Amino acid sequence: MNDQFDVAILGAGFEGGVLASILAYNGAKVLIADAGVHPRFALGESTVRHTFRMMKIMAERFGVPEFREKFSSGEIIHKEVASTFGVKKNFGFVYHREGQHGRPDEATQLVIPPYREGYEAHLFRQDTDAFLTHTAIHHGATVKYRTPITGVDIDKDGVTLRANNETFRARFVADASGGGAVLPRLFQLRDNPPRLNLQTRCLFTHMIDVKPYDDLNLPNGVPQGRRRWYEGTCHHLFDGGWLWVIPFNNRPGSTNPLVSVGLSFDIRKFPKPTDITPDQEWRRFLDRFPSIYEQFKDAKVVRDWVSSDRLQTSVKQTHGERWALMAGGSGAGFLDALFSRGLATSTEVINSLAARLLQALKENDFSPERFDYVAQIHENNLRHNDMLVSASYTAFRDFDLWNAWFRVWALGVGLGDLRLASIYRRYKQSHDDSILPDSEPPMGLFFSNHEGFKQLFYDGVEKMKGVEGGVVPPKEAAAYVFNLIRNAKFNPPGNGLADPNNRYLDPGAPLSTAKTLFWLITNAPPEIRKMSLGVLADLKPKHRAVPAATGV
């Protein structure tokens, strides 16, 4: 029997590194066991504002100084962690029809305001994951690489883990192994089939020599967004799927020439072929979409394609006596990479799990009900994101429908970020745990605990189901969704969400900001106005974070 630990974490990736850093910094004896080594490839490369907001909240809550000093914004990690990350100034969506060049008026873009945290990031995961694991080691965690866990036994006093010829003992085990799915496999937790509507598959790789879409000479021209498409995460949409382009070489000072590329298909429209290689499938796809072909005609693959079967997974339960699953990869369930929600969901789960786990260690009480809230986060996120992304794949069949549905997502993201910014400001001042995100019913979507948005979302989803079932024409559904947004009293009118012709949403632009501030003063609902108190502070120039105080 090797050393005794308080917590054993399976997986030395993003989630394992963050959770282990928190626990070790706060005095727990932590083991990280991983079947592989660093550096290594991982998906989940595009952040949203929610990700870094949660990292800053966890820095305040748990005291880990590296979270605040080195991992609280896209700009800071590029300077303090590695020079291999890209910048993300927008979410871009460019629409395509098979056999035709794209039309300049068929594109949408959500610009990310540069306030406070600055722009978002494209994470080169081999560097972020290694940094976070090293942070955990710095604070006292023990890491065992090349240690695949082959058995986990739980008794009333703790957990026994078996790997190779070694045995470890811990009081609790958290599975952050992602696609390795150690506990789901050993405990037979997988649902078969998954209890999800979405059915998609993916092929992905890293490339070099990918041309910026903005610089192409296309017959119909290139859509002119508020920001260059190559300065953000660009999504090429088509009926039945989408393609992501995540550049790591799109910011000054980047030393990384790679671009992450992934192609997602609705399996019901594009079954996985069995008679061609992934590279051949990629080439055939490019032949069908001439504008996308122009961006990739000179690109070279630098690692073998990965071609998945159905991506979606779900489990029968996410925690039990002395164990819990994390959210990353296909741990507690996986949906699709659309909207880059993976890391944000991971930070939500880590924040709530770490707090409850530290208290359980202190009281030596690991009753499963202590972690019921974490299970609710898993379930609500999976269920609501299945609705959101399934409706998005339905919207891909018609640009007008996409132009409408895109705004439901954008509204939820914007107001959810406003909510989290308010929480962070107030928590910094008071350190009152009742303010924190996990003191409220879990959202599932960034703003779904707001009754008005929840109802708008549900109504929109029902109409999209009608389109999917062939009983509602896409144009009719688009008009319906726009009407929902137009009549939403909590929708800031200055952002232009209700205007179909305003396809490039820039909530941080001076005119939009001024209109929103006027609305907040005069007509905004009380709960929105309350969340927005202190918004002027967010308009200050971004600055370097102050180091955290030692301890919590």
Mean pLDDT within 502-520: 91
* Residue 538 clears pLDDT 70, i.e. is over it: no
- Examine the domain organization and report whether 320 and 382 are in the same domain: yes
- Examine the domain organization and report whether 158 and 221 are in the same domain: no
In a domain, 74, yes or no: yes
57 band by pLDDT with thresholds 50, 70 and 90: very high
- Examine the domain organization and report whether 460 and 523 are in the same domain: yes
In Å, how far from its chain's centre is CA 167? 35
In a domain, 99, yes or no: no
In a domain, 96, yes or no: no
Strands 323-325 and 107-111: unpaired
Cβ neighbour number for residue 479 with a 10 Å cutoff: 16
Contact 163, 10 (CB under 8 A): no
- Examine the domain organization and report whether 26 and 62 are in the same domain: yes
- Examine the domain organization and report whether 510 and 425 are in the same domain: yes
Q: What does the block give as tokens for 373?
A: 């809230």
Q: What does the block give as tokens for 511?
A: 């005119």
Report the distance separating Cα 47 and Cα 342, nearest Å: 8
Report the distance separating Cα 464 and Cα 453, nearest Å: 16
If you compute the radius of gyration of the chain from its CA atoms, what whole number of angstroms results?
A: 23
- Report the pLDDT value the prediction gives residue 533, as an integer from 0 to 100: 66
- Report the pLDDT value the prediction gives residue 444, as an integer from 0 to 100: 76
319: CB partners within 8 A, 6+ apart? 325, 368, 371, 372, 374, 375
The pLDDT tens digits of the residues spanning 444-457 come to 777 778 899 999 99
534 band by pLDDT with thresholds 50, 70 and 90: low
In terms of Cα–Cα distance, which of 132, 165, 140 is closest to 151?
A: 165
- Report the pLDDT value the prediction gives residue 164, as an integer from 0 to 100: 87
Contact 262, 244 (CB under 8 A): yes
* Residue 44 clears pLDDT 80, i.e. is over it: yes
Report the distance separating Cα 436 and Cα 450, nearest Å: 16
The pLDDT tens digits of the residues spanning 402-460 come to 999 999 999 999 999 889 989 999 999 999 999 999 988 877 777 778 899 999 999 99
In Å, how far from its chain's centre is CA 195? 21
- Report the pLDDT value the prediction gives residue 548, as an integer from 0 to 100: 35
* Residue 542 clears pLDDT 70, i.e. is over it: no
- Examine the domain organization and report whether 406 and 535 are in the same domain: yes
Of 345, 365, 391, which marks where a domain is finished?
391
* Residue 535 clears pLDDT 90, i.e. is over it: no
**What CATH number does the domain containing 135 carry?**
3.50.50.60
In a domain, 109, yes or no: no
- Examine the domain organization and report whether 362 and 490 are in the same domain: no
In a domain, 403, yes or no: yes
Report the distance separating Cα 544 and Cα 324, nearest Å: 35
Share of the chain above pLDDT 90, in %: 84
Report the distance separating Cα 188 and Cα 507, nearest Å: 46
In a domain, 97, yes or no: no
The pLDDT tens digits of the residues spanning 141-173 come to 999 999 999 999 999 999 999 998 899 999 999
Residue 433 burial (CB < 10 Å; 0-12/13-18/19+)?
Answer: exposed
- Examine the domain organization and report whether 208 and 253 are in the same domain: yes
Mean pLDDT score of the chain = 93
- Examine the domain organization and report whether 24 and 139 are in the same domain: yes
* Residue 544 clears pLDDT 50, i.e. is over it: no
Q: For the chain, how many structural domains are there in total?
A: 3
Report the distance separating Cα 255 and Cα 480, nearest Å: 47
Polymer length of the chain: 552
* Residue 56 clears pLDDT 50, i.e. is over it: yes
Window from 215-229, 358-372, 497-511, 528-542 with minimum mean pLDDT: 528-542
* Residue 115 clears pLDDT 50, i.e. is over it: yes
pTM: 0.94
| Cα torsion angle, 174, 177, 183, 184, sign | positive
In terms of Cα–Cα distance, which of 273, 301, 302 is closest to 285?
A: 273
Residue 432 burial (CB < 10 Å; 0-12/13-18/19+)?
Answer: exposed
**What CATH number does the domain containing 276 carry?**
3.30.9.100
**To the nearest 10°, the Cα dihedral for 143, 145, 147, 148?**
110
- Examine the domain organization and report whether 518 and 449 are in the same domain: yes
In a domain, 114, yes or no: no
Q: What does the block give as tokens for 489?
A: 């009293």
Cβ neighbour number for residue 293 with a 10 Å cutoff: 14
Cβ neighbour number for residue 276 with a 10 Å cutoff: 11
* Residue 383 clears pLDDT 70, i.e. is over it: yes
73: CB partners within 8 A, 6+ apart? 52, 117, 118, 121, 542, 545
- Examine the domain organization and report whether 20 and 146 are in the same domain: yes
Q: What does the block give as tokens for 449?
A: 């605990």
Cβ neighbour number for residue 381 with a 10 Å cutoff: 24
Mean pLDDT within 28-57: 94
Three-class secondary structure of residue 52 per DSSP? helix
Report the distance separating Cα 299 and Cα 291, nearest Å: 14
Domain that holds residue 470: 398-546
Scored b (16 or more CB within 10 A) or e, 320-358 reads: bebbbbbbbbbbbbbbbbbbbbbbbbbbbbbbbbbbbbb
Task: Say which residue the tokens 């092929």 belong to.
Answer: 203
In a domain, 148, yes or no: yes
Mean pLDDT within 338-365: 95
Share of the chain above pLDDT 70, in %: 96
Report the distance separating Cα 267 and Cα 55, nearest Å: 35
Of 288, 307, 326, which marks where a domain is finished?
307
Cβ neighbour number for residue 99 with a 10 Å cutoff: 9
- What Cα–Cα distance (Å) separates residue 352 from each residue in 52, 347, 349, 376, 499? 16, 9, 5, 11, 38
Residue 315 is given by DSSP the state B
- Examine the domain organization and report whether 404 and 515 are in the same domain: yes
Bigger pLDDT: 371 vs 513: 371
331: CB partners within 8 A, 6+ apart? 15, 175, 176, 177, 178, 181, 184, 325
- Report the pLDDT value the prediction gives residue 448, as an integer from 0 to 100: 76
Of 334, 356, 391, which marks where a domain is finished?
391
539 band by pLDDT with thresholds 50, 70 and 90: low
Task: Say which residue the tokens 């996990």 belong to.
Answer: 438
| Helix count and strand count (H, E) for the chain | 16, 21
In terms of Cα–Cα distance, which of 8, 25, 32 is closest to 59?
A: 25
